[in-house]
Structure formats: C-alpha cells, structure tokens
C-alpha cells in the first residue's frame, strides 16, 4: 500500500509501505474509511519534538474490520469501528477508572494516514457502530477518534455543568469541539477565544454565545469584564503553550476549573501563582475510549455534527497538501479519503 511518512520538517511523503498484518493475537486489521491530519501532527511537522527517523503518520481513524487476531472476542470482520490514538485493553485498573489513555498496556496507534491500519488490543480499543454508516456520517464519526473525544474530555475535566460559564482557549478543532461539548453539557454561556473569522463562525455554530478576539492579559481583562470581575466557572485550555495556560488560569473564578488537553510545550507553572489562583486543574491525554459509546450515539442519530470541523477534504494521496493547509491555517482540519 501507499502510506504517509514524515521524513523531517515539512517533508511529508505519500509512499510505498509494507501492508500491515496481524502481529499479535489481540490485533485487528482495518480498512480505513477516512483519516485526517491532527493539530498535534503539526508539532513534528514544524520540527518540534521531531522523531529522529522517518515515521508513519496519523492516529485518528475509523473503518471496516478486515481481519482479527485469534484472541479477539468481540470485534468482528465487517464491523465499522472507531478507536482512539492510544490502544488500551479497557480492563486494567487505570482503564476501569476511566483513564484508558493511561492504560497499563497502552500502545500508540500510528500510521493511520493510509488505506490500512493495524490496531493493537482490538477488543479494548475499538467500538463498533450499530451498522456500517452512510458516507455522510463518516466525518463526524472520525472526529470521535480524537478531536471530539478530546474536546469532550476538556469540557468534562473542566467540570462543565448545566448553567456554567465556560471559556474555551484555542480555536483549533479541539477547541471548537470543546465548544460543542460544553453546549451538549448544558453550559449557559460559552466564550470562544478566536481572532479568525471562519473559526469564530464555526464556534458560534457549535454553541458559542460570545467570541473574544483579545489574547493574553487583554483577553483575561475582557473575560473578567464579562464575568463581573469573577472569572469563568470552567476554562478549557486547548492549545498547550505557556501563554494559553496562564491565560486559562487567570480567567478562571476562585474555586473554578481549568482543563488542559494539548501536550504542553514549554509550560512551567509557578507554585505560588497556582496556589493563590485557587483553581482546580486537570488534564492530560484525553481518555477518548471512555467517551466513545456516548459520542457515537448522538452522531449516529444526527444530534450533533462535529464533522463540520473538516473544512478541507482531500484524496489521501494529497496528504502533503493537507499538512500545508493546516500549517498555514488555511484549513481548520483536513479529512483524507483513501
């Protein structure tokens, strides 16, 4: 098959690769229905945290099960499945506690920007839809594999409840789906921070009641002004930079909640500042597997349409253009059809 490899900064190649096969008896082999480019793929694409060698790319996926290993009991060939970027057994104590992305046997899934994919720990990792979906549902189901699950975790970790005032920092796909998640959880006021017109528009479509274009201290001042000087109940930090994290902490009310779901780059939290900020802090790699059943259901029934984050769709063979479009912020998120 031909699959996507990152050779170095801005060097994405779609090239001949070995066909994946079942290696462990707990594996499944998927025929990918759609894949995409993740905001987190841009870090190595830009040369930050770059792997030292050519690396197969892609960790968001959905597709049809082609074959399963001898130990796979529940996942069957022919099913349409969605899985997370961390394979998990879904039975260890960390999984049972709801932290499948810290599964004691977790494995990173890689190489999903390709027509075929091997998924480890298939029974624990994959969730099947009620039947094979029509093509129009596939973009939304694909978001459940990462960006929707991550936005949902951001809202959940920030304790969004009916009536909450919520701030979402970051207007990438995760932030935008954090807005959608907060809306689903009943937030009364959702303030999206964005200075990009198409993203502002999508944020409003997903349920944002307000948009703030200011950043940093000015952004904090605006939020304080909009919340009677108190700060928001819940703040979702969906960027992963020091500026975004500080902004999040400073626009949260005393006793409020900050979540953070993007791998932090250069973030250092001073203990004393955090102490007097008096906030709750929770985050980490989103345990997407925990949420998959509850996310697939409203997508299946057309109640939410998170697939709208894909504002550019390309044939898989044009994956390099997909990376360029996201890197240059010409696209929010790129879907790739094999």
Residue selected from 269, 313, 318, 320 as contacting its own copies according to rule CB under 8 A: 269
Instruction: Give the integer Cα–Cα distance in Å for 103 and 93.
Output: 8
Instruction: Give the integer Cα–Cα distance in Å for 326 and 331.
Output: 5
Kindly tell me which of 242 and 318 has the beta carbon lying closer to its own copies: 242
Contacting range for its own copies; rule: CB under 8 A; set: 27-35, 165-173, 211-219, 247-255: 247-255
Cα dihedral 136, 138, 142, 148 sign? positive
If DSSP codes are grouped into helix, strand and coil, which group holds residue 242?
helix
Q: How far is the CB of 193 from its own copies (least distance, A)?
A: 19
Kindly tell me which of 97 and 197 has the beta carbon lying closer to its own copies: 97
Should residue 102 be labelled a site residue for its own copies when binding is judged by CB under 8 A? yes
Point out which residues pair with 117 in neighbouring strands. 30
Consecutive H or E run containing 78: none
In the region spanning residues 212 to 241, those forming contacts with its own copies, defined by CB under 8 A, are 228-230, 240
Please state whether beta strands 80-83 and 61-68 pair in parallel, antiparallel, or not at all (unpaired): antiparallel
Kindly tell me which of 251 and 316 has the beta carbon lying closer to its own copies: 251
Q: How far is the CB of 56 from its own copies (least distance, A)?
A: 22
CA 140 to chain centre: 12
Helix 147-157 and helix 288-300, axial crossing angle in degrees, nearest 10: 110
In the region spanning residues 40 to 79, those forming contacts with its own copies, defined by CB under 8 A, are none
Instruction: Give the integer Cα–Cα distance in Å for 53 and 199.
Output: 34
Q: How far is the CB of 241 from its own copies (least distance, A)?
A: 9
Residue selected from 29, 281, 331, 335 as contacting its own copies according to rule CB under 8 A: 281
Contacting range for its own copies; rule: CB under 8 A; set: 175-183, 187-195, 198-206, 251-259: 251-259
Residue selected from 272, 301, 303, 328 as contacting its own copies according to rule CB under 8 A: 272
* Count of residues interacting with its own copies (CB under 8 A): 40
Instruction: Give the integer Cα–Cα distance in Å for 149 and 173.
Output: 11
Instruction: Give the integer Cα–Cα distance in Å for 300 and 309.
Output: 17
**Residues contacting 233, CB < 8 A, separation 6+:** 159, 160, 161, 164, 165, 166, 252, 253, 256, 257
Residue selected from 161, 189, 204, 282 as contacting its own copies according to rule CB under 8 A: 282
Q: How far is the CB of 256 from its own copies (least distance, A)?
A: 8
Residue selected from 178, 283, 322, 338 as contacting its own copies according to rule CB under 8 A: 283
In the complex, the residues that contact its own copies under the rule CB under 8 A are 93-94, 97-99, 101-102, 104, 228-230, 240, 242, 245, 253-255, 260, 263-272, 274-285
């Amino acid at each position: 098959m031909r699959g996507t490899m990152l050779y170095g900064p801005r060097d994405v190649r779609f090239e001949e690769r070995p066909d994946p096969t079942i290696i462990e008896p707990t594996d499944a082999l998927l025929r990918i229905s759609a894949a995409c480019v993740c905001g987190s793929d841009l870090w190595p694409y830009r040369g930050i945290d770059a792997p030292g060698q050519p690396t197969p790319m892609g960790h968001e996926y959905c597709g049809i099960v082609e074959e399963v290993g001898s130990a796979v009991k529940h996942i069957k060939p022919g099913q349409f499945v969605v899985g997370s970027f961390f394979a998990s057994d879904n039975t260890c104590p960390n999984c049972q506690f709801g932290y499948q992305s810290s599964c004691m046997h977790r494995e990173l899934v890689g190489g999903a920007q390709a027509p075929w994919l091997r998924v480890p720990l298939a029974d624990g990792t994959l969730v099947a839809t009620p039947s094979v979906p029509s093509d129009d549902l596939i973009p939304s189901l694909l978001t459940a594999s990462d960006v929707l699950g991550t936005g949902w975790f951001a809202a959940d970790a920030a304790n969004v409840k009916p009536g909450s005032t919520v701030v979402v920092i970051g207007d990438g796909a995760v932030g935008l789906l954090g807005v959608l998640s907060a809306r689903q959880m009943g937030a009364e006021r959702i303030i999206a921070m964005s200075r990009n017109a198409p993203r502002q528009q999508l944020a409003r479509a997903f349920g944002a009641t307000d948009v703030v274009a200011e950043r940093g201290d000015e952004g904090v001042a605006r939020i304080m002004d909009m919340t009677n000087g108190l700060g928001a109940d819940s703040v979702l930090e969906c960027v992963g930079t020091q500026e975004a994290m500080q902004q999040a902490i400073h626009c949260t009310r005393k006793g409020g909640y900050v979540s953070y779901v993007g791998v932090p780059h250069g973030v250092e939290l001073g203990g004393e500042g955090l102490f007097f900020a008096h906030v709750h802090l929770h985050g980490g790699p989103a345990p997407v597997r925990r949420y998959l059943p509850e996310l697939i259901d409203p997508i299946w029934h057309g109640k939410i349409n998170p697939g709208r984050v894909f504002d550019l769709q390309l044939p898989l063979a044009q994956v390099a253009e997909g990376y360029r479009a996201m890197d240059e912020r010409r696209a929010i998120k790129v879907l790739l059809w094999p």
